[in-house]
Amino acid sequence: MISNELDVERYRRELAARGRVQVPGFLQDDAAVRLHDCLRNEVPWSTAERGRPDVAAAPGTDAEQRLQQQAWARATQEFHFLYDRYLMLEALKEGRDPDLDLHTVLQFFNGPQFLEFIRWFSGDRTLNMVGAQATRYRPGQFLRLHDDKHAEEGRRYAYVLNLTRDWEPDWGGLLHFADAAGNVVDSYVPKWNSLSLFKVPAHHYVSLVAPWAREPRLAITGWWHAKEA
């Protein structure tokens, strides 16, 4: 599934030096295309808002507009998010949507070959599990500034496998990194078939997707987890 043409040593060194890296052309072309088609046309999405149960995604409806307005208002007061998701691990455990190709991704990520790859790539031999969810950001959706730190889950690295074609930077949906003074110090455009990876904790956010974006921002996201102490 991973491209055989990657200069992985180059990106391994960059990750070690900077704590983050974006790897272009991460998957083999046919795998990236198949996953894009699955995300675009087959996934039964729900809309996630912090602190509230997921609801069935309803693009273009009055109910969605009200949901957005309420989420924007809450975002003025605290950390907040609004985006569409499909919880891959939960769906696999519950036996939902058995024909969905996304399930093969989660199984591949947690196979011995990929786990050995991420241990080598990161230099962290304690990594033993990869979590995953499918995400879709549509106009008006966002993820506010946070650092991904979670004491109980053993998160070591966060990743975003971008699967949207021809994304334009002024559509929003960029992964931004901020320093302690509140300055944006780096930004990753969600380029087609790229893996954005960074060490946890790191202050970051996904900027609001613009109303003129012609496509949703599609990705598979999650964390590389370490063994419990």
pLDDT, averaged across the chain: 95
Q: Write down the pLDDT at residue 26.
A: 98
| Stretch 187-193: mean pLDDT | 98
Q: What percent of the chain has pLDDT over 70?
A: 99
163: pLDDT confidence band, cut at 50, 70 and 90? Answer: very high
At residue 106, does pLDDT exceed 70? Answer: yes
Query: For residues 142 and 49, what is the distance between their CA atoms, to the nearest angstrom?
Result: 10
DSSP 180-217: TTS-EEEEE---TTEEEEEESS--EEEPPPPTT-SS-E
Q: What is the mean pLDDT of residues 211-218?
A: 97
**Token pair for 133:** 């969810």
pLDDT digits (tens, 9 = 90+) for 83-93: 999 999 999 99
Would the pLDDT of 229 be above 60? no
Q: In this predicted structure, what is the pLDDT of residue 228?
A: 62
Q: Is residue 203 very low, low, confident or very high in pLDDT (cuts 50, 70, 90)?
A: very high
What confidence category does residue 227 fall into, taking pLDDT thresholds of 50, 70 and 90?
confident
Q: Which residue has the higher pLDDT, 64 or 189?
A: 189
CA angle in degrees (0–180, nearest 5) for 153-155-160: 125
Rounded distance, CA 67 to CA 49, Å?
9
Written as one string, the DSSP assignment of 164-179 is -TT--GGG---EEEE-
The structure tokens listed for 131 are 């979590």
Task: For 28-49, write each residue's pLDDT tens digit.
Answer: 999 999 999 999 999 999 999 9
Region 200-205: mean pLDDT is 97
pLDDT top residue among 63 and 79: 79
Chain centre distance of CA 23: 14
Distances (CA, A) of 96 to 6, 42, 129, 150, 178: 34, 13, 21, 27, 38
| pTM of the entire predicted model | 0.95
For the chain, which domains are there? 8-226 (2.60.120.620)
113-157 pLDDT, tens digit per residue, is 999 999 999 999 999 999 999 999 999 999 999 999 987 889 999
Taking the C-alpha atoms of residue 156 and residue 149, their distance in angstroms, rounded to an integer, is: 9
